[in-house]
């Protein structure tokens, strides 16, 4: 959801706010505003100062669009004011302030609740994977967001500029002009007829469950489409592949074709979901995955697939030496599983457990793919590249990339 959408839908669209705007804490720049709503730079600066100098706005009131209001309440989070039967509610989040006006037909308490609730959500996600059912009744989409992002959390803890994002799940990190990484996927799927009501499912962990529920409420994701795997720490995590199976079983998707999207994965702007789905329709007896080319120096960082002349996977190499293969095709977690291949996921997990394999053996989704391809045909769909939010620098780079569009 864009910042303008928050103004239009979650503020003015509720019927309890007559006009609204969102302004950055750093300089007070306007991020979004309803038509005709304007606050002068000097007025914004007075409001910002009021959060640390409450006496000034108590004594002098607050001006919004040249209208002076009496201050009713001010603290380090919120400022309320009124003029006759009209008034305002201003609430500060970690990086922005929400400014909302109400007219004489709106109860002040109703306006305040709308603004405070939206601020709670934005704060909960630092401003604030996936099973997604798809383009027909048999294709389901699942976003997998049950990892703990330990490397990113270490980076955030060491950063003064970004440590307000500590504890935010990767999939819920604000990215570009959207409130969360996962929102980019939701919007893309919905433009292809893949709806939140019927087709989008999210698997997360116990630690992040409440944050995903708050996000789900704002994006009209049914809460019974979001599930926790019950784990609370990285040490007790189920692992990526068991989480996929957990989601498939929980949401009863065993007889459906299921598209699994990693909660930390995004593709470049030129990715065509329509072409991807058409490819699956053409090769409807296969699983379908995406593949992109990596430079020689990065081969050892990824699982590398080899394919035949028709793009069918013939080999999977886990972080090989560049000299061990001519292939440079990496395969991100964007897997469309044919319903007949789903039993192989459980078979893979069971074999790992029977052999007392360490959790790392089935924590990487690529290792499951390596088990499936000799037993069920897997086709590839070429893409130009992907964005993987692994650490802080990759997040910063991704944010800059998506701000360009």
Amino acid 141: pLDDT: 54
Question: pLDDT value at position 26?
Answer: 66
User: 328: Cβ–Cβ under 8 A, 6 or more apart, which residues?
Assistant: 293, 294, 295, 296, 299, 304
Closest Cα to residue 200, out of 231, 215, 184, 221? 221
Q: Do 257 and 336 form a contact (C-beta atoms < 8 A)?
A: yes
What does the pLDDT look like over 31-89, one tens digit per residue?
A: 889 999 989 989 999 999 999 999 999 999 999 999 999 999 999 999 999 999 999 99
* 167-182 per-position pLDDT tens digit: 788 888 888 888 888 9
Neighbours of 102 (CB within 10 A): 25
Distances (CA, A) of 369 to 66, 178, 213, 341, 363: 62, 31, 30, 11, 12
Using the CB atoms, write b or e for 320-340: b if 16+ within 10 Å.
Answer: bebeeeebbbbbbbbbbbbbe
User: What is the spatial order of strands in the sheet that 96-102 belongs to?
Assistant: 30-33, 19-24, 96-102, 86-92, 78-83, 67-74, 62-64
Q: What tokens were used for 269?
A: 């702007």
pLDDT tier at 150, thresholds 50, 70, 90:
low
Chain-centre distance for alpha carbon 299 = 27
C-alpha 349/C-alpha 249 separation (Å) is 14
Q: How far apart, in whole angstroms, are the C-alpha atoms of residue 326 and residue 217?
A: 47
Q: What is the pLDDT of residues 315-368, one digit of tens each?
A: 999 889 999 999 999 999 899 999 999 999 999 999 999 999 888 888 788 999
For the chain, give every residue range classified as CATH 3.30.450.30: 3-124
Q: Is residue 212 a contact partner of residue 183, using CB atoms and an 8 Å limit?
A: no
pLDDT above 90: percentage of residues in the chain:
51
The domain 130-403 having CATH identifier 3.40.50.2300: the answer here is: no
By CB neighbour count within 10 A (0-12 exposed, 13-18 middle, 19+ buried), where does 84 fall? exposed
The per-residue pLDDT for 55 is 93
What pLDDT, on the 0 to 100 scale, is given for residue 2?
67
Taking only the tens place, the pLDDT of each residue in 103-142 is: 999 999 999 999 999 988 877 655 433 353 333 323 455 5
Q: What is the pLDDT of residues 263-294, one digit of tens each?
A: 888 999 999 998 998 898 888 899 999 999 99
Instruction: CATH 3.90.550.10 in the chain: give the residue spans.
Output: 130-403
Other C-beta atoms closer than 10 Å to the C-beta of 158 total 10
**Do the beta carbons of residue 164 and residue 123 sit within 8 Å?**
no
Structure token pair of residue 142: 């699942």
| Strand partners of residue 63 | 68
What residues contact 38, with CB distance under 8 A and at least 6 apart?
Answer: 21, 65
Check: pTM over 0.85? Answer yes or no: no
Nearest to 259, CA basis, from 138, 97, 84, 115: 138
CA distance 140 to 130: 10
Spelled out in words, what is the top-level CATH class assigned to the domain 3-124?
A: alpha beta
């Amino acid at each position: 959801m864009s910042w303008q959408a928050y103004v239009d839908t979650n503020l003015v669209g509720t019927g309890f706010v007559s006009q609204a705007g969102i302004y950055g804490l750093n300089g007070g720049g306007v991020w979004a505003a309803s038509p005709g709503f304007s606050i002068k730079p000097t007025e914004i600066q007075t409001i910002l100062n009021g959060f640390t100098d409450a006496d000034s706005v108590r004594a002098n009131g607050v001006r919004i669009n040249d209208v002076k209001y009496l201050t009713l309440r001010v603290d380090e989070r919120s400022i309320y004011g009124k003029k006759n039967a009209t008034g305002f509610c201003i609430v500060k989040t970690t990086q922005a302030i929400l400014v909302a006006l109400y007219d004489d037909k709106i109860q002040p308490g109703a306006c305040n609740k709308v603004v405070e609730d939206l601020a709670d959500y934005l704060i909960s996600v630092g401003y604030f994977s996936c099973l997604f059912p798809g383009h027909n009744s048999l294709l389901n989409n699942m976003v997998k967001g049950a990892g703990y992002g330990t490397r990113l959390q270490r980076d955030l803890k060491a950063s003064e500029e970004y440590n307000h994002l500590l504890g935010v799940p990767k999939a819920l990190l604000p990215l570009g002009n959207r409130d969360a990484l996962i929102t980019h996927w939701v919007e893309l799927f919905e433009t292809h007829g893949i709806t939140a009501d019927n087709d989008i499912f999210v698997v997360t962990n116990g630690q992040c469950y409440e944050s995903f529920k708050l996000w789900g409420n704002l994006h009209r994701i049914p809460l019974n489409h979001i599930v926790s795997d019950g784990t609370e720490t990285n040490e007790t995590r189920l692992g990526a592949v068991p989480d996929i199976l957990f989601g498939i079983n929980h949401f009863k998707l065993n007889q459906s074709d299921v598209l699994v999207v990693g909660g930390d994965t995004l593709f470049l702007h030129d990715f065509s979901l329509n072409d991807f789905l058409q490819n699956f329709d053409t090769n409807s007896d296969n699983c379908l995955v995406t593949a992109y080319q990596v430079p020689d120096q990065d081969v050892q960082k990824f699982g590398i697939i080899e394919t035949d002349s028709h793009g069918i996977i013939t080999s999977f190499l886990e972080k090989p030496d560049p000299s061990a293969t001519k292939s440079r095709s990496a395969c991100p977690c964007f897997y469309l599983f044919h319903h007949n291949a789903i039993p192989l996921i459980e078979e893979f997990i069971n074999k790992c457990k029977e052999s007392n394999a360490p959790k790392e053996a089935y924590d990487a989704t690529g290792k499951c793919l390596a088990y499936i391809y000799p037993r069920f045909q897997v086709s590839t769909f070429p893409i130009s590249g992907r964005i993987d939010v692994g650490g802080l620098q990759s997040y910063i780079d991704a944010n800059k990339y998506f701000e360009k569009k």
